[in-house]
Amino acid sequence: MQNSHIIRDFDQAIAALRAEVLGMAAKARFNLERAVQALLERNTELANAVIADDDDVDDAERKIDQLGLDLLVRYHPVATDLRLVISSMKISMNLERISDHATNIAKRAKKMAANQELPDATLIEPLYTLADHLLRDAISSYSDRNAELGASLHARDKELDRMYKAATATYGGRLEQSTGRSEDYLHLILVSRSLERVGDLATNIGEDAVFLDNARDLRHESNRSLEQGG
Amino acid sequence: MTASPDKTKSPAIEVRDMEFCYGKSSALRDITLDMARNEVTAFIGPSGCGKSTLLRCFNRMNDFIPGAKVTRGGIWIDGIEIHSPSVDGVELRRRIGMVFQKSNPFPRSIYENVAYGPRILGEKRKSVLDGIVEKSLRGSALWDEVKDRLHESAYGLSGGQQQRLCIARTTAVDPAIILMDEPCSALDPIATARVEELILDLKRNYTIVIVTHNMQQAARVSDRTAFFYLGELVEYDATSKIFSNPTHSKTEDYISGRFG
């Protein structure tokens, strides 16, 4: 926990930025949850709500960029404060893309709801569960400044990749065999793809949280040890 | 002073286990740091932390303060301990120039301000002095602004120009090291930027140590930054490391405004 800044407004600006990121993260995660729920429960109304609420997430991204820019212009933050501004702005970009994927899933949920129910849709559920856990932990790694948790996401995302490949293989097989349901199987393949991308974006957020916590840049590194210079 | 065998690799200034006292009161303790050649090192820290005292140790300016002395350890410049009997204080101060907070031109012409040092050192040939004056003023990015009024009073220059004139006066005697004690604190942002640009240019030929209260200035001009607190060196590292991820919480508190 850092000491208070001599300028109280600075602490308030930092707190406002952090709160906005966490609020945006909650919205993006809620959108993803409802999009998958809309798909599984064939709930068009819920899908419409997700599509409409994506605007709030876009607004949050703009607001975070503005708050970050104001902080840089007014206070020239350094060290942890600077890393917080940079990581917050990068995380908001990833959250916006996660919410876009939720919107894509919601749009496909609406299209699938117009057709007859497809039992294979439930295969999506374990993918969503893991993607949501990765997202939840990514957000925690930022809010708790937990570099260890943030760095762990890369390895866990590999499991999501494996599940995605298995799901697309299954849906691809059904697509070849099916008569008249190929469009729905295509939707499910693309929904799986969106969930796999959410895992990648959550991993990015985890890497930003590592940068925030200890200034390490883990991106594109084969050795992801948290030791300095590792 | 004799140059060390391999000047390119050895540090320009080495401080080892140094303690400095004003009478019985110690102002600096356990100071150990190396300053690399052709680099800018910034000293930062709150008022009274000892950073200016250390700067003034390097050219033995503190010799003029009664009771002030290095009581332990020492300072080596080009491999020679500067308090050893073989070192002459006047020659040391020629090799190590200093620029102060407030510009202090002599009440003479621009030309005479720059030619003063070389004249004192015995140079009488006008053509040589002309050459030194032009080279020093060009090196201080002042030549184009003053070449048509070299024989007018230095007091007619703006504050920023006067400070650059003082830097030209310092370089005119061909020092190896330039010490700067808050050289921009009395300047406006444009004049400050000109001096900062000059510092970055000068480091190709000189080793520079600058004391500054301006964090952004330390971040802009220095290669390495040393943070002092209560007479101790808390942290010394690459400037980018100090301002992005300092090791000590006290350094972080100070540079990010969380001190006290």
Residues of B in contact with A10 (CB under 8 A): 257
pLDDT tens digits, A129-158: 999 999 999 999 999 999 999 999 999 999
- The pLDDT, as a whole number, for residue A230 is 35
Q: What are the residue boundaries of the structural domains of chain B, listed by start?
A: 13-101+175-255
Cβ distance of A80 and B252 shorter than 8 Å: yes
Q: Where are the beta strands (DSSP E) in A24-107?
A: none
The mean per-residue pLDDT over the stretch B124-152 comes to: 95
- The pLDDT, as a whole number, for residue A149 is 97
Cβ distance of B255 and A78 shorter than 8 Å: yes
3-state secondary structure B33-62: EEECCCCEEEEECCCCCCHHHHHHHHCCHH
Other residues' Cβ atoms within 10 Å of the Cβ of residue A59: 12
- Which residues, other chains included, contact B88 with Cβ-Cβ below 8 Å and sequence gap of 6+? none
Question: Within 13 A of A149's CA, how many CA atoms are on the CB side?
Answer: 19
What length does chain A have?
A: 230
- Which residues, other chains included, contact A63 with Cβ-Cβ below 8 Å and sequence gap of 6+? A20
Record the tokens describing residue A228, joined without a space. 């300095």
Q: How many CB pairs under 8 A join A and B?
A: 43
CA distance linking residue B205 with residue B198, whole number of Å? 12
**Interface probe with B: pick from A1, A3, A83, most Cβ of B within 10 Å:** A3
Q: Provide the ipTM.
A: 0.82
Q: A228 at the B interface (CB within 8 A)?
A: no
- Between helix B126-139 and helix B159-171 the angle, nearest 10°, is 130
pLDDT tens digits, A62-85: 999 999 999 999 999 999 999 999
Place of tokens 């604190």: B185
Per-residue DSSP letters for A47-67? HHHHHHHHHHHHHHHHHHHHH
Q: B259 at the A interface (CB within 8 A)?
A: yes
Reduced to 3 states (helix: H, G, I; strand: E, B; else coil), residue A115 is coil
- The pLDDT, as a whole number, for residue A222 is 73
Check pLDDT > 50 for residue B81: yes
Residue of A nearest to B246 (CA): A79
Record the tokens describing residue A98, joined without a space. 């996660």
- The pLDDT, as a whole number, for residue B32 is 98
Name the CA radius of gyration of chain A, rounded: 19
Q: What is the largest CA-CA distance in chain B?
A: 57
Q: How far separated are the first and last CA of chain A, in Å rounded?
A: 26
Place of tokens 């840049």: A217
What length does chain B have?
A: 260
- The pLDDT, as a whole number, for residue A227 is 65
Nearest to B255 among A2, A6, A79 (CB): A79
Planar angle of CA A173, A179, A180, nearest 5 degrees: 115
CA distance linking residue B182 with residue B214, whole number of Å? 9
Confidence class for position A228, pLDDT limits 50, 70, 90: low
- The pLDDT, as a whole number, for residue A110 is 97
Check pLDDT > 70 for residue B148: yes
Confidence class for position B197, pLDDT limits 50, 70, 90: very high
- The pLDDT, as a whole number, for residue A229 is 45
Record the tokens describing residue B235, joined without a space. 């942290």
CA distance linking residue B228 with residue B33, whole number of Å? 12
Q: How far separated are the first and last CA of chain B, in Å rounded?
A: 44
pLDDT tens digits, A109-125: 999 999 999 999 999 99
**Is-contact B63 B89, C-beta < 8 A?**
yes
Cβ distance of A76 and B255 shorter than 8 Å: no
Q: Is A48 part of any domain? A: yes
The mean per-residue pLDDT over the stretch A160-168 comes to: 97
CATH number of the domain enclosing A171? 1.20.58.220
Nearest to B244 among A3, A6, A79 (CB): A79
Please tell me the distance in Å from B246's CA to the nearest CA on chain A.
7
Q: A81 at the B interface (CB within 8 A)?
A: yes
Q: Which amino acid is residue A91, in one-letter code?
A: I
Number of domains in chain A: 1
Check pLDDT > 90 for residue A189: yes
Q: B255 at the A interface (CB within 8 A)?
A: yes
Per-residue DSSP letters for B175-241? -SEEEEESTTTTS-HHHHHHHHHHHHHHTTT-EEEEE-S-HHHHHHH-SEEEEEETTEEEEEEEHHH
Q: Is A225 part of any domain? A: no
Q: Is A94 part of any domain? A: yes
Q: B244 at the A interface (CB within 8 A)?
A: yes
Residue of A nearest to B217 (CA): A76
Cβ distance of B246 and A3 shorter than 8 Å: no
Q: B238 at the A interface (CB within 8 A)?
A: no
- The pLDDT, as a whole number, for residue B4 is 45
pLDDT tens digits, A196-218: 999 999 999 999 999 999 999 88
pLDDT tens digits, B38-74: 999 999 999 999 999 999 999 999 989 999 999 999 9
Record the tokens describing residue A90, joined without a space. 């990068």
SS3 content of chain B, % helix, strand, coil (to 5): 40, 25, 35
Q: B253 at the A interface (CB within 8 A)?
A: yes
Check pLDDT > 90 for residue B179: yes
Cβ distance of B246 and A79 shorter than 8 Å: yes
Check pLDDT > 70 for residue B5: no
Q: Is A116 part of any domain? A: yes
Reduced to 3 states (helix: H, G, I; strand: E, B; else coil), residue A97 is helix
Confidence class for position B115, pLDDT limits 50, 70, 90: very high
Cβ distance of B215 and A78 shorter than 8 Å: yes
Q: Which fold has domain B13-101+175-255?
A: Rossmann fold (3.40.50)
Q: B258 at the A interface (CB within 8 A)?
A: yes
Cβ distance of B258 and A6 shorter than 8 Å: yes
What is the domain extent for residue A17? 8-214
Please tell me the distance in Å from B83's CA to the nearest CA on chain A.
38
Mean of the per-residue pLDDT values of chain B: 93
**Interface probe with A: pick from B216, B234, B258, B259, most Cβ of A within 10 Å:** B258
Residues of B in contact with A73 (CB under 8 A): none
